[in-house]
Amino acid sequence: MELYFLGTNAGVPTLQRNVTSIGLRMLDERRALWLFDCGEGTQHQILSSPLKLSKLEKIFITHLHGDHVFGLPGLLSSRAYQGGTTPLTVYGPPGTDRMISTTMELSQSRVNYDLNIVEHTGGVLFEDDSFIVEAALLEHRIDSYGYRITEKDRPGSLDPAKMAEYGLKPGPLFGRLKRGETITLDDGQTLRPEDVLGVPKRGMVITILGDTRPCDNVQPLSIDADVLVHEATFMHDLADTAHEYYHSTSKQAAEAARAANVGQLIMTHFSSRYKDEDQLQPLLEEAQSVFPNTRLANEHQLIPVVHRKQES
């Protein structure tokens, strides 16, 4: 999987940065794109990216502030023109349906694909054979949610030497074993997947938080995640301002990452007062002094999701 940041600024776009939207690309069997938030200009940012709206499967909205949702009506309306005809589900807090439906109705916009809107107040939102997505309420001026995306463990690779011991050659039986099925060989012998498969491959865990100041739900959402995406609107010298406006500082983001034992912290949602990369560097240094494996989200940069190091 890969993360792609389409916007990293807080509140309003600037010449250097757009407002919030994050793409999550699944590169294996699913071959899908999920979006987290959809600030103004998101579809325009996608045009300059490797992301494809035809692959867009789900959109998760953290909260209904404009810098996180004003790009949603336009993207939904024009998705079909970019090859997006498959069903699309939007998950968001109460009010998401009314916002989308009202805008589409008043603008007389039509979509030629199945658009499903799921409003939630947290909990397990989605589960299939590969993923579980959970949400929990954070602490912001309006209801804001964080999302935890858990990829389920996958079967290990087939061991060629073990397969040869049973006289198995590539074919349909390989697929059945990979799917976890027990098979019966021609000689009547029963063969279980664990007899010929290697160690299961641990799934990834990604946590993406909406706007928040430090609160209790950050840790359960983030615990042992491979990647934590956390807002860092201000440096810590403005901690009082951050608290007043229900945001976090770079130091607070790093403290959350350290407490949750995550693999990597990616900071985003930067105040416009930090105009360029040079002015963001102190935020990075401040966070790295607390949690070394921290990076800044740079727009139009793919960040591969890698496993965090396991403690021995």
Give catalytic residues, as residue numbers.
67
Judge whether 70 and 39 are in contact, CB under 8 Å: yes
Helix (H) or strand (E) holding 205: strand 205-209
Among 122, 125, 70, 142, residue whose Cα is nearest residue 99: 70
Distances (CA, A) of 63 to 50, 93, 128, 257: 26, 6, 25, 22
Helix (H), strand (E) counts: the chain: 11, 16
Q: Residues for the chain: how many in total?
A: 312
Residue 172 has φ and ψ, to the nearest 5°, of -60, -30
In angstroms, how far is the first alpha carbon of the chain from the final one?
A: 25
